[in-house]
Amino acid sequence: MTQDELKQLVGQAAADYVNANVPEGAVIGVGTGSTANCFIDALAATKHRYRGAVSSSVATTARLQQHGIKVFDLNEIESLPVYVDGADEIDHRGAMIKGGGGALTREKIVASVADVFVCIADASKRVDVLGQFPLPIEVVPMARTAIGRRVAAIGGVPVLRVAKDGTPFITDNGKEILDVKGLAISDPCGLEAVINAWPGVVTVGLFAQRGADLCLLGTETGVQTITYAKH
């Protein structure tokens, strides 16, 4: 199966999971990226079951609305039974690197509210040690160089993310992203706490303190369901 086919497989599996486990009339948290898009497309068939969704990005909001799914502001919602999103990497504990699409801050906010975090990914995203995929850090622009020095001090190589036109990539929050190469992250929770404490960091793309509860992993033999210990 191609990677796109695997994404569609786990997107459908996530829609099936939500339909089986989330009560009618609920609001669903939805992530950002190509795998999350497959989930949105699959969920559209049963959209009548739900009041709507909370979105983690401008792009996801647009896709939900294209399917006629109502999008709520998180401030309007009292509870979120589930959050479904992809990952750039996920380890055996359910810790993830996310933010390849640039939506890490809003993704982390929505995930923090959800009762259950369902990660949907293809088997290539499962790793023993996080860090092969560059670690995104969303930063206030004036702090970019200072944070870059801190990254270098812990052995990372910071690279400013740029848009197609060569200018700095700007997030939905009006901030910039440093992609950090060269890290082997043996203590994701610890590193998440350290980087989040640096002045000028909006958030780091480590989802370890609040990792996945469940992973629907697309493999050549079908979708594996992996459950992680509660954090």
Tell me the binding residues for substrate: 32-35, 85-88, 98-101, 125
* 107 has catalytic annotation: yes
Burial 156-169 (b: 16+ CB within 10 A, else e): bebeebeeeeeeee
Phi/psi of residue 84, each to 5°? -115, 125
The residue with tokens 């647009």 is: 62
Q: Detail the residues annotated as belonging to a binding site.
A: 32-35, 85-88, 98-101, 125
Cα Dmax for the chain? 52
Compute how many other C-beta atoms are within 10 angstroms of the C-beta atom of residue 16. 15
List the catalytic residue out of 107, 138, 176, 192: 107
Distance CA 135, CA 214 (A): 22
Q: Report which DSSP code applies to 130.
A: B
Q: What tokens were used for 30?
A: 């939805």
Residues taking part in catalysis? 107
